[in-house]
Chains A and B, each alone.
Chain A
Amino acid sequence: MVYMRQVGARVKRKEDPRLITGSSNYVDDFNPRGVGHLGILRSVYAHAKINGIDTSAAKAHPGVIAVFTGADVPELDRPMPHGEGETAGGQKGMVGIVTAPLATDRVRHVGQAIAAVVAEDRYIARDALDLIVVDYEPLDAVIDIEEAVKDGAPQLYDEVPNNTAYTWTRKRGEVDAAFAEAEVTVTQRMNNQRLAAISLETRGVLAQPDPLSGGLTVYTSTQNPHSVRAEIARTLGLSEIEIRVVAPEVGGGFGAKISSYPEEMIVAALARKLNRPVKWIETRSEHLLATHHGRGQINEISLAAKRDGTITGLRMRCLADLGAYPRDASVPPLTGMLMSGVYGYQNVDIEIRGVYTNTMATGAYRGAGRPEAAYYVERIMDVLAAELGIDPVEVRRKNFIPPDAFPYKTPTGPTYDSGDYNKPLDKALAAADYQGQRAEQRQLRAQGRYRGIGVVTFTEICGFGPFDSASVRVEPSGKVTVATGISPHGQGQETTFAQMVADELGVSMDDVIVVHGDTARTPAGKGTMGSRGLVVGGSALFKTLGQIKEKATKIAAHLLEASPEDIEFREGKFGVKGAPDRTKTLVDIAAAAYSGSLPDEIGTGLEATDFFAPPGTTFPFGADVVTVEVNPETGEVALLRYVAIDDCGRVISPLLVDGQVHGGLTQGIAQALFEEVVYDEQGQLVTGTLMDYAVPKPEYVPMFENDRTETPSPHNPLGAKGIGELATIGSTPAVVNAVVDALAPFGIRHLDMPLRPQRIWQAIQDAQAKAPAAAD
């Protein structure tokens, strides 16, 4: 058999056979005997006092097992910690706002949970919810962040004046001087609209009493089972070992399933109270109402620059919508920290205010703070380029952090690990035939057609710790069981990790199983989020495999009657240096490991657990070139070409990286062109179903032309940087830049997202009204 390395090869996924046959299980696919179906009554007001809740009719309804309010269940009337940090929402310096899983006296957004029904059947649970009567006393609500910070605006919390939860600032260098002395300045107000995650599987929770521990086993659609376990235990006053959390198949998360939710506490508490299995499955409408949203910022950003395009200063004033209670208030500061982009300017003055409004909370959504930063930076670069009449590519190159500057300490905070920003840009421009496209654009403009080209260069931060883990057990047969602390839900690490094991230990990928998403079967871990799965979890696996190899080498040496120093791992076998025929496979070594006859200094068994605590974060980067054409009669945007060159460091599984890029690009494009969570002035959610919230369909995106450059990260043994969010981060500004470029003949310099036909058409009308001759 020819020896073939699996790392770097195009391999089919190990996950797929069960998923393409419908034989695997998501939360709602489990129906234990006696399960009660839970429904949640949610606030219909954005802001109200609750004067009473009458559940008597619901309780009397046939088929209803029980109805609970917060007053009935002390565990659910206690403050619930939000986010992972000890400070509320994870942001230092914030007033510690906490909310109970079930509201008893006041609601602060439409969709907040008030009461729970458990019934024999999901239809009956829904019927019974209609029979609960809540006596609301409506209060003035504030929805708009710019209104919320004004004096006299309705207040969500007495202890939080002007609804301002915190102000995050970073000032470095001589910004005022930079602006005072600038040859040119540009300023632009930009939005970053609210988005919904829309994992195809909504959230869902099933809790059942666990006779083994006396506590509970909780199946939940989460990205982070170990953290949910800790929070359920804390809410119920139990210890971690009494709670087992399982994330079975999880149908997407995109950040919205990172931190635990009130519903996880409600289901767990009621399963315990009723001493029977209880299941709640979120409806799509509930997902839009009560699963946290992403983005939600308004920003005014300014650049100071020289006429040649050199940027000398950056200033921004940003309002970030936290919604009604903090879920992950550390997201907006990430925007501030990434405002250096890939550029070397030193004078920065950044202020971000986290603001409460009577809306659903915001939190992580694919990119979580970094797409916002890349959008502002890449948009204002184009505004500057237009002001100076310089090609957007040249303005970017002029300001790149040079490749010899790494590790590079940014004025905005982070230290970038490695980078070479001309590499992906050169490759993208060549692939797109940028100069050719510009020539074609000029010709088309002469014919009255509105072709636009968008260029972006970007980076982001990922690979956050604090740690992750792996256990590897070589079974007596020589097959390998891996348990990982990350919790993949579509990313495909069962495959990626099996590729690594195959190469490191010399086994077939078919002989490796990767277990994840179960606190009882995996070592402590921090879940899958922030493009950390391979970077941190994979590195933990690599370290653990190192331990296995070390012992396997000793066993091989013993079997081959050689010294361990004379054993090398070559083409999947442990062999004596210089003696091609003297080798042992993992099967031989495993048999010996469990023979009970190895000398004491080697010892029985072949398994190890190790942890990886990254010494620093990683900064993948890339460059995109997008081509669009705008129909001026209708305002429609045709996405003609999309060239994406990403640098995510070392690649283990190229096919899976392509998949991450395509999906990421599509979500970023969706923000640019289609998606927006909309509340009306009363705080009613207007986009409450997928009839109103515009998720891209297959026809809305083109075939992407994507490729890679490879700049390893020095911060982990794999050299990986992470790819989960990178494409999303580039594609939003790329598309907006392209559309604005298409509209340049109308004198348009910026438009707020989403760039739906109506907005574009209106902008063209307004521009023509202002200067009728401009476009002719």
Chain B
Amino acid sequence: MATHPITLTVNGSQRQGQVEPRRLLVHYLRDELGLTGTHIGCETSQCGACTVILNGQAVKSCTVFAVQADGGQVMTIEGLAQDGQLHPIQEGFWEEHGLQCGFCTPGMILSTYDLLLKNPDPSEQEIRHALHGNLCRCTGYQHIVKSVQYAANKMKGAPAVAD
């Protein structure tokens, strides 16, 4: 099958590749670039395990072709911590036990990143609504909500309160 050249900026580095037009962005990231922190959980864009930030928006990379992302800026979970410092959202998930098996976690964290960019002070219901496209089978979501609240507080500069 014919391939197309693509150029993406992934976690701040420029990456060039040759991909079949049918190759999904998630497979390009995982199999070609080795960024396996992005997971695949359903293939029908229900579960959100494959969520990445593409041009500033959270997208499900299992329903984006790599060629559609050509020229774009991608951030994956591997790009969130800076200089070995966890991002406040990652800190929140650790602090509040927002994960168990960890499979949904990268997608949850990046959807949270998208939410907090748009709404730095979300209510519990706004958090639950914003994470509607991310499934977690382990936590019952309660500690995820608390993780997001922790991160929101921390990012506002307010003291994050652990219970």
Chain A residues close to B by CB (< 8 Å): 12-13, 15-17, 19-26, 28-29, 31, 122-123, 198-202, 249-252, 254, 281, 283-285, 489-492, 655-656, 658-659, 661-667, 689-691, 695, 697-699, 701, 703-704
Contacts and interface: CB of A to CB of B under 8 A. Distances in A.
B103 A200 contact: yes
Given A200-B103, A659-B139, A666-B139, 16 more contacts: A20-B93, A22-B77, A28-B40, A122-B27, A251-B103, A252-B103, A281-B40, A490-B101, A662-B142, A664-B140, A689-B43, A689-B44, A697-B132, A698-B136, A698-B145, A699-B125
B131 to A, nearest CB: 5
Nearest to B144: A698
Contact of B76 (A15, A22, A122, A662): A22
A691 B103 CA distance: 19
Contacts of A250: 101
A370 B116 CA distance: 41
A20 B46 contact: no
A658 B46 contact: no
B101 A199 contact: yes
Interface in B56-115: 76-78, 80-81, 86, 90, 93-95, 97, 99-106, 109
Query: Considering residues B99, B106, B137, B143, which has the most beta carbons from chain A within 10 angstroms of its beta carbon?
Result: B137
Interface in B23-58: 23, 27, 30-31, 34-44, 46-47, 49
Interface in B134-150: 134-145
Q: 3 tightest CB-CB pairs across the interface, nearest first?
A: A22-B37, A251-B103, A19-B102
Main secondary structure of the interface of A (DSSP, over half): loop
B137 A254 contact: yes
Given A202-B41, A698-B131, A703-B124, A22 B78 contact: yes
B41 A200 contact: yes
B52 to A, nearest CB: 11
B22 interface: yes
Interface string B123-134: 011011101101
A492 B138 CA distance: 12
A20 B44 CA distance: 24
13 contacts: A19-B105, A20-B99, A20-B102, A22-B37, A22-B76, A26-B36, A123-B23, A199-B103, A659-B139, A695-B46, A695-B137, A697-B128, A704-B140
Given A200-B135, A200-B136, A698-B127, A21 B37 contact: yes
Contacts of B94: 12-13, 16-17, 20
Given A249-B102, A698-B132, A701-B140, A690 B97 contact: no
Contacts of A251: 39, 41, 101-104
Given A16-B94, A200-B136, A704-B140, A21 B102 contact: no
B46 to A, nearest CB: 4
A25 B101 contact: no
B145 A659 contact: no
- Max chain A C-beta neighbours (<10 A), residue from B34, B36, B39, B102: B102
Contact of B97 (A200, A252, A658, A695): A658
Given A201-B41, A491-B100, A689-B42, A703 B142 contact: yes
Contacts, number: 178
Contacts of A249: 101-103
Contacts of B78: 21-23
Contacts of B128: 697-699
A766 B3 CA distance: 60
B101 A16 contact: no
Interface of B: 20, 22-23, 27, 30-31, 34-44, 46-47, 49, 76-78, 80-81, 86, 90, 93-95, 97, 99-106, 109, 124-125, 127-129, 131-132, 134-145
A593 B145 CA distance: 48
A748 B18 CA distance: 63
A22 B97 contact: no
B132 A198 contact: no
Contacts of A200: 39, 41, 47, 49, 101, 103-104, 135-138
B31 A31 contact: yes
A123 B36 CA distance: 18
B41 A284 contact: yes
A658 B77 CA distance: 26
Contact of A663 (B27, B93, B134, B140): B140
A200 B22 CA distance: 24
Contacts of B36: 22, 25-26, 28-29
A13 B109 CA distance: 17
Contacts of B77: 20-22
A659 B144 CA distance: 10
Contacts of A29: 30, 36
A686 to B, nearest CB: 15
A177 to B, nearest CB: 45
A491 B100 CA distance: 6
Given A251-B103, A689-B42, A198 B137 contact: yes
Q: Which of B23, B27, B42, B77 has the most CB of A within 10 A?
A: B42
A60 to B, nearest CB: 16
Contacts of B131: 697-698
A663 B30 CA distance: 29
A254 B136 CA distance: 13
B38 A22 contact: yes
A210 B132 CA distance: 44
Contacts of B35: 22
Contact of B138 (A21, A490, A704): A490
Nearest to A20: B90
A666 B135 contact: no
B105 A663 contact: no
A656 B81 contact: no
Nearest to B107: A200
B39 A26 contact: yes
Given A21-B78, A284-B41, A698-B128, A703 B145 contact: yes
Contacts of B40: 28, 281
Contact of B142 (A22, A199, A704): A704
Given A123-B22, A490-B102, A663-B140, A284 B43 contact: yes
Contacts of B127: 698
Nearest to A704: B142
Contacts of B134: 698
A26 B90 contact: no
Contact of B47 (A23, A283, A690): A690
A662 B35 CA distance: 31
Nearest to A252: B101
A380 B127 CA distance: 38
Contacts of B138: 200, 252, 490, 659, 663
A26 B106 CA distance: 13
Contacts of B49: 200
B20 A659 contact: no
B100 A663 contact: yes
